[in-house]
Amino acid sequence: MLFNPELCRNESEVESKLIVQYLLPQLGYTPDTWHQEVAVGSIRLDFLAFAVQVVPLVLDANSPLSVVMEAKHPKQNLNHHVPRLRHYLTSLNVGYGLLTNGREIRIYEKVNSDVKLVFQCAGKEVEAKLEDIKDLIGRDSLKNRQLKKKLEIQVLNREQERQLPMKTIAIYHHKGGVGKTTVAVNLAAALSNQGKRVLLIDLDAQANTTFATGLIKFQFEEDDDLKERNVFHLLDAGGENNLLISDVVRKSNGFNQPEVDVIPSHITLIERQPKLAMYGASRTRLAKKLELVKDIYDVVIIDTPPSLDLYASASLTAADYLIIPSDLKPFSNQGLVSVKNFIKTEINENRENMGKQAIRIMGVLPSKISNNNQYIKYTFPKHRSVIPERYQLPLMDNMITERTALSHCINKTLVVGNLEIPDPKSIFEFARYESSASQAAFEFESLGLEVVRKMELN
């Protein structure tokens, strides 16, 4: 049977004529080894084919090597769909992804938390290139690769397990209102969902992260159980207040499944800062105490104040990486100059005195970005280009758009008797029962994968 790409006039015909009628049979897949319109959480796959029959359908580390096939309209640019395919492969532990619009066929391979292009041809060349495609994603090839994978796993299991070093990320910008807390708490949830052991530290006196993770459910001041054990006591010097992380850490309360560990903040940080400022060691004490838990956590995320004060200094001195959330508006961009100067004149000097490398700027993360199509198409690319061109700062690959679900999930409440109790949720928990949150959850899943990739945590 021959394939003619000219007969594919829409996405449905690419699915039926190229994938169902031509590719799947030619690659050796029988009806019991491939599935169409597969739903996995918020993910919807066009096709999923396995090396062997899988009943029931399960995707995990022990699943047979598999291939996702995604069909697009012939007029669509495949470059626009690569990030979503990468998300599918890395989130579902799928080995290969075929992306096609009928006019072009591409195959991507999952490599840790990223993908690489391993094959590309025009649709009219598919017969001539069929053997190359079979070598990559044919059913027999995947079977052989699955056997090799099992043998490699057996060898790895015999080797001594290597402990990857803990990585610490500060979420910081001199400008307020750019979504720092939203990024901090939902990135923590995304990494926890990936199986990482996460510690989330709130070093902002506003205590928004503490609230967002469900630790402020009391209604009256006398019920406040955070006042005497919070992040201040990790920075304080001497005496009974000189506590360790194990003395202060809490589990988030109904925020996410799995929950994350949290070092809470408190409004009293504001009045207590002058005491800490008397001692230069206050700026390095958090970094030193984190060293004591480096075997307990994979990732530490610090939500910082929008300032150039001692708390910001302590946060950045303790961090290995910096993510700078920004709405890319003029005041936010002008604040980037202060961020760079702060790092240059104070932070890296503190780190050098501790024998630590300079902090690594992972990137400016576009956040609270309008999802208006005209803005995204015409204005947003110009706003993005300003960051590397004018401010010489790297950009994150992902972005976080402004969505009501992100505020609704934090401000969710629970009625108990006559009281309305705060019951904040991560965007992932919120998306379990609120479909409008699925796109925001997807954006944070993608951000989590990017962060893991850039920190080489796999």
pLDDT digit string (tens) for 276-334?
Answer: 887 778 889 999 999 999 999 999 999 999 999 999 999 999 999 999 999 999 999 99
- Whether the link from the prior residue into 258 is cis, omega within 30° of 0, is yes
Contact 182, 406 (CB under 8 A): yes
E strand or H helix at 228: none
Is residue 355 predicted with pLDDT exceeding 60? yes
- Structure tokens that stand for 356 in this block: 């630590």
Alpha-carbon distance of 56 to 250, in angstroms, equals 38
Tell me the per-residue pLDDT of 392-440, one tens digit each, with 9 for 90 and over. Answer: 999 999 999 999 999 999 988 877 777 778 889 999 999 988 888 999 9
For the chain, the structural domain boundaries read: 5-158, 167-455
The CATH number of 5-158 is 3.90.1570
Residue type, 178: V
Which range among 103-112, 347-356, 411-420 shows the weakest confidence by mean pLDDT? 411-420
Which residue pairs, CB below 8 angstroms and at least 24 apart, start in 90-93?
A: 90/114, 90/115, 90/449, 91/43, 91/445, 91/449, 92/40, 92/43, 92/59, 92/68, 93/59, 93/60, 93/61, 93/63
Alpha-carbon distance of 349 to 133, in angstroms, equals 54
Question: What's the average model confidence in pLDDT over 333-347?
Answer: 94
Alpha-carbon distance of 346 to 316, in angstroms, equals 10
Cβ neighbors of 201 (< 8 A, separation 6 or more) are: 231, 262, 263, 286, 300, 301, 302, 303, 315
Angle between helices 282-291 and 310-318 (to 10 degrees): 30
What pLDDT band is residue 208 in, cutting at 50, 70 and 90?
very high
Alpha-carbon distance of 289 to 317, in angstroms, equals 12
The helices-and-strands tally (H runs, E runs) of the chain is 19, 16
Predicted confidence at residue 94, as pLDDT, reads: 86
pTM metric for this prediction: 0.69
Alpha-carbon distance of 272 to 341, in angstroms, equals 26
Which of these, 443, 442, 451, 397, lies nearest to 112 by C-alpha position?
451
Predicted confidence at residue 39, as pLDDT, reads: 80
Alpha-carbon distance of 246 to 175, in angstroms, equals 32
Domain 167-455's class?
alpha beta
Predicted confidence at residue 386, as pLDDT, reads: 93
Alpha-carbon distance of 442 to 458, in angstroms, equals 20
Predicted confidence at residue 412, as pLDDT, reads: 87
* 145: alpha, beta or left? (left if phi > 0; alpha if psi -120 to 50): alpha
Question: What's the average model confidence in pLDDT over 92-112?
Answer: 92
Range ranked top by mean pLDDT from 36-40, 65-69, 180-184, 377-381: 180-184
